[in-house]
């Protein structure tokens, strides 16, 4: 079974490695198992775990507000 680093997994998912790590830390996605390599602890992802995260990504709230969301809020406030 091939294993991937967080950086490799993030690249496969089309997101930044720090974003993937932040989602795992925040509990927004399940993290992979950790392995000790040369005194360092690192997450190793399987293809199955990466695909599971790929399905979860569209549902994750990242805290950013897009221009379209701002416009939608503005129009609902002005009609109230």
Give the C-alpha separation, 41 to 80, whole Å. Answer: 53
Q: Do residues 42 and 31 touch, judged by C-beta distance below 8 A?
A: no
Q: What is the pLDDT of residues 44-80, one digit of tens each?
A: 999 999 999 999 988 886 666 566 667 777 777 766 5
Mean pLDDT along residues 16-26:
92
Percent of the chain exceeding pLDDT 70 equals: 82
Residue 10: band (very low, low, confident or very high) from pLDDT cuts 50, 70, 90: very high
Q: Which domains, ranges and CATH numbers included, belong to the chain?
A: 3-79 (1.10.1660.10)
């Amino acid at each position: 079974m091939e294993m991937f680093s967080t950086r490799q997994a993030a690249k496969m998912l089309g997101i930044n490695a720090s974003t993937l790590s932040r989602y795992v830390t925040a509990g927004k996605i399940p993290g992979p198992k950790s392995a000790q390599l040369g005194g360092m602890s690192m997450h190793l992802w399987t293809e199955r775990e990466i695909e599971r995260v790929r399905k979860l990504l569209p549902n994750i709230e990242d805290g950013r507000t897009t221009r379209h969301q701002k416009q939608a809020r503005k129009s609902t406030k002005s009609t109230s």
